[in-house]
């Protein structure tokens, strides 16, 4: 099963997820990222935080905003 990491990112800061979590596919990992983003918003982390979903030891695949918007990253940004 693929291993995905969920990094917390804002303009001048990045907190990497060093362990990752197994999910059957990227769609399931994206739903998990939306839950994380909404929890962060509820905990008053602020609107400038994003969750970046990445393959473990691989490229960043998407960003998820605090309101749950999923933004796939173009291949050149991966």
**What pLDDT digit, counting tens, does each position of 23-62 carry?**
999 999 999 999 998 888 777 677 788 999 999 989 999 9
Question: What is the distance between the alpha carbons of residues 5 and 45, in angstroms, rounded to a whole number?
Answer: 19
Q: Strand, coil or helix: what is 1?
A: coil
Q: Provide the domain limits for residue 35.
A: 3-77
- pLDDT category, 74, cuts 50, 70, 90? confident
Question: What is the distance between the alpha carbons of residues 78 and 68, in angstroms, rounded to a whole number?
Answer: 21
Measured CA to CA in angstroms, residue 78 lies from 15, 19, 72 at distances of 18, 19, 10
- Per the structure, the count of domains in the chain is 1
Q: Strand, coil or helix: what is 50?
A: strand
**Cβ distance 6 to 37 under 8 Å?**
no
pTM: 0.88
| Average predicted confidence (pLDDT) for the chain | 90
């Amino acid at each position: 099963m693929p291993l995905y990491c969920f990094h917390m990112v804002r303009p001048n800061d990045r907190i990497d997820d060093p362990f990752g979590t197994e999910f059957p596919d990227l769609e399931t990992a994206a739903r998990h990222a939306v839950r994380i983003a909404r929890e962060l918003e509820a905990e008053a982390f602020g609107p400038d935080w994003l969750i970046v979903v990445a393959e473990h030891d691989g490229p960043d695949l998407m960003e998820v905003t605090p309101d749950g918007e999923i933004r796939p990253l173009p291949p050149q940004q991966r």
